[in-house]
Each structure stands twice: as structure tokens, then as C-alpha cells.
Structure 1
């Protein structure tokens, strides 16, 4: 695919970076960007070299939500069209039926996804970030769902994911008011894992990403799968029994052998891709 509004790279440690790349439009979301984002994520999910994905925006914004021209085009329309092409890629699909939906497919992806919110984040971008695994933001970043001011509902499953991240009380505030929140307030609610000063932001994000990349790929992908499957599991006993089966499976793999050997030799493990 020819990439016009996104770009990506993978470093030698297996850390991939994906940029929403329309800085002249503050990385506003379009159907083209939706297609390209899915295509990139499918390439990264299928690439065994990739251990961690960092998602960020080009320039000073993360993503200010749907492009204003797209919003205008829906006035008076009789249905919502997400503008995906018929042959759009399906990264993360097939793990669970519940995850075969927009944004939720990020749960089904193998590598952990870190949202690096480097500036304004609004509308659909809030959903994009919410369905990532780890969330960091730059100090002073402004975040809003914007939906109430546009006469819209909580979009793309925000009414499901936000209460699970910050609790019902904070979720009601975020979703009902649509007010602009600073990254620092969202961190206090538990939405962001951390907020960093602008001059440290990139360094701190990649420090964490490379830490994750140095861990057992089998462990991180399996644990990620457990985390989201157990969000919708209602029986704790099933979770426990499933984890015991996974323990048996991973104990037979090379990562467990290397982890134990490194522990006994008092050194850092060297996990092979």
C-alpha cells in the first residue's frame, strides 16, 4: 500500500513506531488514514521482529479527531459510513469474536501497543488511544471526546472501555460533558500511565518501549491476551485454570528456559526473536 497519511519504522530492538502523518491538518482522521493504519498494524502484527509498537502523531498534535470535511459530509446522512475500503486489512482478527470490531482488534494483536500522545487528542483518537495497552502523554496535552458538542453518542466503544480504565464516576464526567481535560487530570483518573515533560517525552516513552522489547515475547503476547480475555470473562475459576494451562505451555518453550538460566546465572535474559 502507498502510505500518504501515515508512516512507520522498526528499529533493531524490535520497537516499531507508527505515526499519524497529516501534520498540516493536525493529523485529523480520514477514511484513508483508517485504511492505512489497519494495513500498517497488520504488517507489524505479522512481523516476528516486532516486539512493541509505539503509536504517535507527527508534529505537535496526536490526532484532533475526524477531519472537519468528513464531519460536514455526514450532516443529513441516513447512516454512518466508516469509510473503510472493502479490502481493508484485519489485524488482530480471529482471536475472539468480541475483538473483531473497530479499535477492539488492537486487543487481539500480538505486540503491546503504547499510545504516545504528543499533543491534542480528540474524538475518534480518544478511542484509538483507549484501546492501546499502555498510555503516555506529554504535559499539557488536551484531550476531549467532543461528542456531546457535536450531538453524537460515545463512539467506538468508549462507553465500554472508559469505565474499565477510570471507573464509572470518572467515565460519566468524561463522556457526558465532553469537556477538554489536560493529560495531568487524566493521569490522576488512571487513564494515562504517566505524563512526561515535553523535553523528556520521546526519551521516556522509548525507554519504556525498549524495556518491554527486552522481555520474553511469548510472555508479553500471552499476558496481553489473558488481560483482555479476562475483561469479558465472568468466572474467575476459568481464568485460573486457563492460566495454569498457559504456564504448562510456556514452560516448554525457549523463553522459559532462557529466563531460568539467566536467573540462575545472575544476568539479564537474552530472548531470541
Structure 2
């Protein structure tokens, strides 16, 4: 694909950085960006050398939400097509049926996904970040769902994901008012893992991503799928029993042998790349 509004690179440690790249338009979301984003994620998730993906925006904005021209085109329309792009690539699909949808497919990806919110994050971009596994933000970043202020309900699964990330009370505040919230406030709600000064932001996110890239890729994938699968049911016994089965499986792996050896020898482990898989986690 000829990338026009996104770009990416992969460093030797397996950390991929993916930029939303429309700096002259606040990196605003379009159908083209949607297609390119999924195309890149599919290739990164299928690449066994990629261990972490960092999603960010070019310049000092993460994503200003849907492009205003696209929003205006629906005014007076009789119908709305809810599918962002029927023929787009489908990273993360096939792991669990619950994740086979726009934005939710990020939960099905093999690779841990970090949202690096380097500035304003609005509208659909909040869903984009919420369905990542981890979130970092600059301390002056402004966040808003916008939707109720333009006559729309919660979009793209935010009414499902936000209460699970930061509780019903805070989710209701954000979704019902559409007010602008600073990253520091959302950090206190549990939405962000860290909120950092701008001058430290990229270095800190990069250091964290490399720390994550150093763990067992197979263990990271399994753990990610455990987290999201267990949130889909209210049965702690099933979670415990499933985790015991997975522990037994991973104890037979080369990664476990290498991890124990590295611990005993007081050195960093050397884990092998993890091939992309689509096995369902109960």
C-alpha cells in the first residue's frame, strides 16, 4: 500500500512506531487513514520480529478526531454506513468473535499496543487509544469524546471499554458531557499508565517499550489475551483454572527454560521471536 497519511518504522529491538501522519490537519481521522492503519497493524502483527507497537501522532497532536469534512458530509444524510471500511485488512480478527469489530480488533492482536498520546486526542481517537493495551500521555494533552456536543452517542465501543478502564462514574462523566479533560485528571481515573512532561515524553515511552520488548513474546501474547478474555466473563474460578493450564503449557517452552537460565546466571534473557498465531484463548 502507498502510505499517504501514516508511516511506521521498526527498530532492531523489535519496537515498531506507527505515526498518524496528517500534521497539517491535526492528524485527523479519515477513511484513508483507517485503511492504512489496519494495513500497517496487520503487517506488524504478522512479523515475528515485532514485539511492541507504539502508536502516536506526528508533531504535537495525537489525533483531532474525525476530519471535519467527513463529519459535515453526513449532515442531512438519510442513512449512515456504520462500517469504516468493509474491505480493509483485518488484524486481530479470528482470535475471539467478540473482538472482530472496528477498534475492538486491537484487543485480538498478538502484539502489545501502546498509545503514546503526544497531544490533543478527540472523538474517534479516544476509542483508538482506549482499545490499546497501555496508554501514556504528555501532561498538557487535552482529551474529549466530543460526541454529545455534536448530537451523537458514545462511539465505537467506548461505552463498553471506558467503564472497564476507569469505572462507570468517570466513564459517564466523559461520555455524557463530552467535556475537555486534561491528561493529568484522566491519569487519576486510571485511563493513563503515566502522564509525563513533554520534554521527557518520547524518551520515557521509548524506554518502556524496550522494557516490554525484552520479555518473552509468547508470554506477552498469552497474558494480553488472558486480560481481555477474563474481562468478558465474571467467573474467577474459570480464570484461575485457565491460567494454571496456560502455566503448564508455557513451562514446556524454550522461553521458560531461557528465562530461568537467565535468572540463575544473572543476565538478560534472550527470547526468540514469536510467530503470529490466531489461536483462541477461552
Q: So what's the TM-score if we normalise by structure 1?
A: 0.98
CA contact (8 A) 1:31 1:82 kept: no
Q: Paired residue for 1:190?
A: 190
Quickly say closer, same or farther: Cα 1:83–1:68, change in 2 above 3 A: farther
Q: Paired residue for 2:279?
A: none
What is the rounded CA distance, in whole Å, between the counterparts of 2:128 and 2:107 in structure 1? 11
Matches within 5 A, 1:87-166: 87-166=87-166
What is the rounded CA distance, in whole Å, between the counterparts of 1:233 and 1:261 in structure 2? 36
Greater CA drift, 231-240 or 22-31: 231-240
Q: Paired residue for 1:56?
A: 56
CA contact (8 A) 2:84 2:102 kept: no
Deviations 1:78-112 (A, max 9, x none): 23225644421000000110000111100000110
**Structure 1 segments (4+ residues) deviating >3 Å:** 82-86
Structure 1 residues without counterparts, runs of 5 or longer:
none
What is the rounded CA distance, in whole Å, between the counterparts of 1:81 and 1:6 in structure 2? 24
Structure 1 residue 248: Cα displacement: 1.3
Deviations 1:171-218 (A, max 9, x none): 111111100000111101111111111111000000000000001111
What is the rounded CA distance, in whole Å, between the counterparts of 2:189 and 2:211 in structure 1? 25
Structure 1 residue 226: Cα displacement: 0.3
What is the rounded CA distance, in whole Å, between the counterparts of 2:150 and 2:23 in structure 1? 23
Quickly say closer, same or farther: Cα 1:5–1:119, change in 2 above 3 A: same
What is the rounded CA distance, in whole Å, between the counterparts of 2:54 and 2:130 in structure 1? 14
Q: Paired residue for 1:250?
A: 250
Residue 24 (1) aligns with residue 33 (2): no
Q: Aligned to 1:36, what secondary structure does the other structure show?
A: helix
Deviations 1:193-247 (A, max 9, x none): 1111111100000000000000111111100000000010222111111111111
Quickly say closer, same or farther: Cα 1:236–1:128, change in 2 above 3 A: same
What is the rounded CA distance, in whole Å, between the counterparts of 2:235 and 2:168 in structure 1? 22
Q: Aligned to 1:167, what secondary structure does the other structure show?
A: helix
Q: Paired residue for 1:266?
A: 266
CA contact (8 A) 1:31 1:83 kept: no
Residue-pair matches, total:
273
Which structure exhibits the higher relative contact order, with contacts defined as CA atoms closer than 8 Å and separated by 6 or more residues? Answer: 2
CA contact (8 A) 1:118 1:137 kept: yes
